[in-house]
Structure 1
């Protein structure tokens, strides 16, 4: 039996929960303490720091439930004080002996224990009854209290303790207690609790009177005085600690061991800072001889991490103070349990090892979880199996994590609701006791862990289990329910049927098939009765509220349209994901109708994809399903029956509907949480449904036209539907083969229209009519016989349907080929379209209804030959085409070319006025060019003579005139008339009039008018040049004569050469200008300037040769006199020296004669005018003026 294999009784009392203030089992605790590899590694740093570091005095030990932090704290308090235990051993020696393979750590432990020290170990929450956490000095008050208590003082009341400390320092405390007992008969330790009792106070006064030999009245108010004056502070506290340390041997240390400080100060910045101040002050005051060890569920970073930025800054020093950080991870909890509880007797170790070696493969197969979720570390060796037996490797880690998540979800009750009170060791011991009578093939099933924590759980959490215990007749189902409860909140473990089966294995030789069937039956029972819920493959325990809501959800009505809508979303919207699929042979998309179980769930199209879902009542009658689609354009994808899938579909819809109906702000927080989790789980269910729908569709049967079509299974439902769709298109559209293997695009029909070669399209015979082209022609002719015109729209609608299924680009390419073979023509508003317009008609959808296709008209040879003759006469060349339509279209192109030439000439109307003669010709060309090609073949007589005559009589001669040398002569004549008029007016003769008359001719390009005009132009040009030269010569001679006259003047002869050059410069400049001047009028005007230039030159010469007249000079007086308030200058004015008066030249034109008549008409008038002229001339002479003639 299992109970016999252990070295120690599994029913012995083991102190499994370590409490800091429990000192009754010190010997057992120290002896049974296990130093795991993790603890050894992390305390090594602590002992090294304790022995060597200065200014470090803070140790922060963190870890969650079961990590052993409180146990380690307690052991360290024993080791550093090195207390004695039974058998004369010391705590440090025992502790060091437990260290394996680390001699340095052993040495440091023993070195630390040799330093004299005392330990103050306490749980701060238990000791904080003297103050409130609202008090920012609450932590300090507790430190005072435990220090007082350590000295044997009454720490619960600080003023009593302070009174006792006063006596303690004087080494009189013990003497006082003795005197008090003698005086009152009471023990002071008991009496002080009633310190307010008058008898206690009287005894205190009398005892102090005797102790200090003073009057008792002196001590009447001693306690009140101490209480009123007492003020606790970090400085005062640290001074007391320092005084105490100084009273001890050298190197003595006082160490505080504070359990669960993290919970006490969490979220309270003031308490955090209070702790930091205490630790920092102790370090400074005692020079590192007072250490503080604390434990916390949270590590330092987590504790600070929840604070605001400001609080973090305030609290930053505490991190620096607690420099030794020990974070215990609970990873080695199995090691502790193995050593304290599961250590085996030697003979059973051998037997178990043999069992493992024989059953190793079986165990690996049995204890094998599915690939989803957390991966557990399996047995590492035979020894590992032996050490853990009868527990299985996964149970240590899994139970620990499940316990943590239950705590996080407020599952526990009582003082330690955050973590639960019972340790892992306690739970495992109780489970062991449950299986103690089993044989060595037995294993522990995970559900047994529930009993170990059952009494700690909140009643409302376990209502469902209690209900199940009262109502379930299947005991195994109840065990499964307990296992599911344990793993409920641990998300990394995925409770699938396979994984639950593993949890429930309780024997090495279990029949796994029977076991899994038993598990499945239990799960079905629990699900049907709403103790659990299933989401896909995952099962989940339901709390009482969850159970009620689950029942309500299952009772929520869902109708068939809702189911069909969800199936449509799953299969069509999510799996197939398209409203059209590609036919791979021509790379074209074809739209299709979506149907679910006979219900259309999309817009109707010619092709149909119908999914026969697992919800269809005829699913098992394939013959009915086949017969229903004979002669239709439907492919049926028949899925396999899948009850679980449909159950999940209904559950998804029920949860969705229930959640919508039950959203209310009045819901309890628990209900809101459950609904939220339901929605989250439902989203996960939706993803699972989608994956399942994909798999279901990928393995469906394919029915087309009443037959089962073999389509291989595909990796996805979308690929499978695509494959089935290929068969449907081939069946419904047999005439698709007429299009061949070419993939038609817009570019294809564009190239055909524009005569650009297309690979694989005209490889055989460009003239022959293909099968596809024949089908189109037949359709057009059939409608024509029925007096119906055929538009592009009509073609699209007919050939898109079965049996064709032709897509637009392919159809338009066929039409374009017929068009280029002149088998059809396209019209719009009775206008036959050319290549460009045909292409536009194809490309623009709005043109499809109004673009009609007509079968090509036949023309006789006479019509063709007539057009060829007009072509040759009009364009002086033969057409290169032989087909009537091609010749006509070529003719139209040539007409347009001719029209463009005419327009180009007309655009030069301002430059060449006579091109206006082409306007009528242009209008005729425009009219003719805008006719359809058939007009040229049928109406040649109507336009032949007029268009050819106009070309020969006007266009040809004008074109020849403009492009030849005649046009250069014409432009020279025009230039002479417009630019040389100024000179021509001085020339005698009729040449100029001849030129002007020529330019007015309406047809200068006809006759010999151009030749006569050229002769007149040449004669006129010669005359102008000769006259310009004559006028220029005479003018220059006049300027030279004026220069000679100046040089003889009496003043000019006195000038220096430089002065002479200056006054003659204007004359020389004018002569230079005359040499360049081309206009006769300007030359003549230049001669008129000689008089003014000469007068100006003479005056300059006079000025340069005659001195200026001096100004009169005023001589200053020798003495000024004053008359009244004004000063009078009495100086004299000297007479200027006599100088010669300077003459001035004027032009005779400047002489103004005072004469009243406007003309001289009589002899008397002449004499009178001459008299006045003489008078004015003499007057000017008298005024020293000289008159230049």
Structure 2
């Protein structure tokens, strides 16, 4: 049989000088063997034959000289020859195919080989192949049992890949490109997988081709980026474009090589070796992360996650009355008392050490190891403590009222502004004292229990304040009594109602006992006046004003003077409520006297007018006579 390279001599005289020079110079290259020259000629002869690929199998067939030749030995000889030819930059490889290079192509390939790349660039590109191409940019793992998304750090040969994020998990890939790859035996991998509270370690299989392809890819990409210019000769542009096309194919091969290396590689998590059962790289990663979560978050199981709408549940707790709240709380999962106790203990410890607790921080604490609780489940637990009056939420150092809490906590962006404090509780003696005082003031006994009693007292005081404010416009005119008392009472109630926390409110309520008892007396007087006595007051004022129109005559009547003095004292009194019952009688008396005087005056004027008429008639007749 005749190998293909024997046909080279028949066309040699027709070849371009540069091609012949390349092959002739190769023949005198001390780094090459005679077999290499024949193989180089074969690659030249098939360079532009699309139907024949320059792979090892085809080259073996084209190099056979005997029918019974040992193909395996010949194949090995060809592979060794190809390595020598490639090393001398006489040929190039693109995947499994090898190509003859012209002089200009050799020059460009030599320049590409001379491009320097760092180990950091290698690790970064390898990391992007794994995390961006194979895993499609995945940065989170969803733990399906509680639907929490865990961020994970992405490392490749100890180099971080992508943007730095707060993370709870670590995935580290060890590739054959790492300088210390050989030192990563099973014992070291197991040991490293226990660090940082546990992590996932993938050790790729040792594939020399992977490293070769990656370095060629990086050098070519870098060369094209730096070299490409519109001013280059057309031939150079074409060669660079060919290298770019080859590199796109190389990138696809690299992805396949990496995927195979991961599947065939080893996986270690939390000191254990995991057997590969997944059919894809993503599934293998998810399986490893699932194992990592379940074996490194020791208190994960203390929380039974809520399966419904967290915001609706929180809103229901906050808006329901005391009876409905207890019903909702009773329906919470039975296992969550353990989770609640974890939060209680932390709040108690922080309170004891005077450590300020921010809502964002405490929720973030339970997202991390050893808990791994979803943020809204933690928020629901805190709401449980809130409605059972174990904690308070403060905004700008003031307690949040129940009716506005939901609006302030429904957006995580506001959590950094809210403080969590352990709520102080009152002893039974203080509560009973407040209940009795409430009865003395509001005429009915408030309910037992700190929060129900607070609600009763607060609402009662608020109702009184609203009533007093409704009396104020009339009192401000100066025509009705109680202005000073109303203003003082409203101010006192403002002071009391300023405290939205049951502990502070009830303590202040007891402390203001004397003032509130006085206010109670004043309130009942004012309430009775403006509800029942205002009409008679208006009549008394009108009667007094009418009498003043005839004051000159009334002042000559001792009885009238006495009555007007009494009316004047009533109208000018700051607290006329006990004597206003005299008003009807006084109105009747002064009206009668005033009418009598008016009638007498009217009679006198009538008599005087008649006498004047008679005198006029007498004078008239006298004159006429």
Preserved CA contact (<8 Å) 2:317 2:328: no
* Residue 780 in structure 1 maps to residue 330 in structure 2: no
Question: Is structure 2 residue 493 aligned with structure 1 residue 925?
Answer: yes
Q: Would you say 1:935 and 2:501 are equivalent positions?
A: no
Residue in structure 1 matching 2:279, options 710, 714, 730: 714
Whole-Å separation in 2 of the counterparts to 1:911 and 1:766: 61
For 2:142, what is the secondary structure of its paired residue?
A: strand
2:366 aligns to what? 799
1:847-899 Cα distance to aligned partner (Å, 9 max, x none): 64772422643412x3222222333344444444x322342244234433443
What corresponds to 1:552 in structure 2? 111
Measured in 2, the distance between the counterparts of 1:912 and 1:494 equals: 114
Match of 1:689 in 2: 254
The residue aligned with 2:290 is: 726
Whole-Å separation in 1 of the counterparts to 2:100 and 2:270:
50
Match of 2:469 in 1: 903
* 1:771 corresponds to which of 338, 343, 367: 338
Q: How far apart, CA to CA, are the structure 1 residues paired with 2:541 and 2:260?
A: 93
| Larger relative contact order, structure 1 or 2 (CA cutoff 8 Å, min sep 6) | 2
Tell me: CA distance 1:456–1:823, structure 2 relative to 1, closer, same or farther (3 Å): same
Tell me how far 1:953 sits from its aligned partner. 2.5
SS of aligned partner of 1:816: helix
Equivalent of 2:211, from 636, 643, 646? 646
Residue 872 (structure 1) aligned with residue 435 (structure 2): no
What does residue 614 of structure 2 align with?
A: none
Runs of 5+ consecutive residues of structure 2 not aligned to the other structure: 555-559, 596-625
What is the rounded CA distance, in whole Å, between the counterparts of 1:962 and 1:805 in structure 2?
A: 62
> 2:177: which partner in 1?
615
1:946 equivalent among 515, 522, 527? 515
Pick closer, same or farther for the CA change 1:639–1:877 going to 2, 3 Å. farther
2:121 alignment counterpart? 562
1:950 is paired with a residue whose SS is: helix
Residues of 2 paired with 1:811 and 1:569: CA distance? Answer: 35
Pairs within 5 Å for 1:950-969: 950-954=519-523, 956-959=524-527, 962=530
Corresponding residue number in structure 2 for 1:669: 234
Q: Which residue of 2 aligns with 1:657?
A: 222
Equivalent residues, number: 560
The question of whether the paired residues in 2 share the 8 Å contact of 1:752 and 1:758 is answered with: yes
Q: 1:454 to 1:1012 in 2, by over 3 A?
A: farther
The equivalent of 2:156 in structure 1 is: 596
After superposition, the Cα gap between the structure-2 partners of 1:462 and 1:863, relative to the gap in structure 1 and judged at 3 Å, is farther
Aligned residue in 1 for 2:145: 585
For residues 962 and 465 of structure 1, do their structure 2 counterparts lie closer, same or farther at Cα, with a shift above 3 Å needed? farther
Counterparts in 2 of 1:490-501, with a 5 A limit?
Answer: 497=55
Distance 1:612 1:780, change over 3 A: same
Distance 1:767 1:976 in 2: 75
Is 2:193–2:269's contact at 8 Å kept on the other side of the alignment?
Answer: yes
- In 1, the alpha carbon distance for the partners of 2:466 and 2:264 equals 70
Cα deviations by residue, 1:712-737 (Å, 9 ceiling, x for unpaired): 2233x334322211111111112011
Match of 1:736 among 300, 310, 313: 300
Moved more, 548-557 or 660-669: 660-669
Q: Secondary structure at the match of 2:223?
A: helix
Shift of 1:738: 0.9
Out of 628, 639, 643, which is 2:192 matched to? 628
- 1:859 and 2:427 aligned: yes
**Match of residue 814 from structure 1:** 381
Distance 1:547 1:768, change over 3 A: closer
Q: Give the SS at the match of 2:176.
A: coil
Matches of 2:86 and 2:107, distance apart in 1: 13
In the superposition, relative to structure 1, how do residues 859 and 496 fare at CA in structure 2: closer, same or farther (>3 Å)? farther
In structure 2, relative to structure 1, the CA distance for the partners of 1:572 and 1:748 (3 Å cut) is farther
1:629-673 Cα shifts (integer Å, max 9, x gaps): 335421112222222222121112212333355456764332233
Gaps of 5+ in 1: 1-436, 439-443, 488-492, 1023-1189
State the alpha-carbon separation in 2 of the partners of residues 451 and 912 from structure 1: 129
Residue deviations 1:1003-1056 (CA, integer Å, cap 9, x gap): 78772477579989999xx9xxxxxxxxxxxxxxxxxxxxxxxxxxxxxxxxxx
CA contact (8 A) 1:974 1:999 kept: yes
TM-score w.r.t. the length of structure 2 is 0.71
Q: Displacement, 1:821? A: 2.5
Residue 478, structure 1, aligned to residue 47, structure 2: no
> Is the contact between residue 879 and residue 887 of structure 1 (CA under 8 Å) also seen in structure 2?
yes
Query: Given that residues 494 and 538 in structure 1 are in contact (C-alpha distance below 8 angstroms), is that contact kept between their aligned partners in structure 2?
Result: no
**Are the aligned partners of 2:496 and 2:508 in contact in 1 as well (CA < 8 Å)?**
no
CA distance in 1, matches of 2:41, 2:475: 110
Structure 1 residues 901 and 530, CA gap change in structure 2 (3 angstroms): farther
- In the other structure, the counterpart of 2:449 is 883
1:770 is paired with a residue whose SS is helix
Paired with 2:466 and 2:259, the residues of 1 have a C-alpha distance of 67
CA distance in 2, matches of 1:944, 1:1017: 44
- Per the TM alignment, residue 628 of structure 1 is displaced from its structure 2 partner at its CA by 3.0
Secondary structure of the residue aligned to 1:485 is coil
How many angstroms does 1:596 deviate by? 1.9
Q: Is the 8 A contact 2:60 2:78 kept in 1?
A: no
Aligned to 2:602: none
- Flag the 1:953–1:529 CA change in 2: closer, same or farther, 3 A: same
Task: Kindly state the Cα deviation for residue 585 of structure 1 after the two structures are TM-superposed.
Answer: 2.0
The C-alpha deviation readout for 1:826-865, integer Å capped at 9, x for no partner, is 45676555435655368566764772422643412x3222
TM-score by structure 1 length?
Answer: 0.40
Find the residue that maps to 2:389 and give its secondary structure.
coil
Distance 2:333 2:127 in 1: 49
Q: Deviations over 1:360-392 (max 9, x none)?
A: xxxxxxxxxxxxxxxxxxxxxxxxxxxxxxxxx
Alpha-carbon separation, structure 2, partners of 1:533 and 1:926: 89
Deviation at 1:789, TM superposition (A): 5.5
Q: RMSD between aligned alpha carbons? A: 5.2
Identify the structure with the greater helix proportion.
Answer: 2
1:554-605, Cα deviation, whole Å (9 max, x unpaired): 2333221121121222223444414433222222222233222234456474
Q: 1:976 to 1:517 in 2, by over 3 A?
A: farther
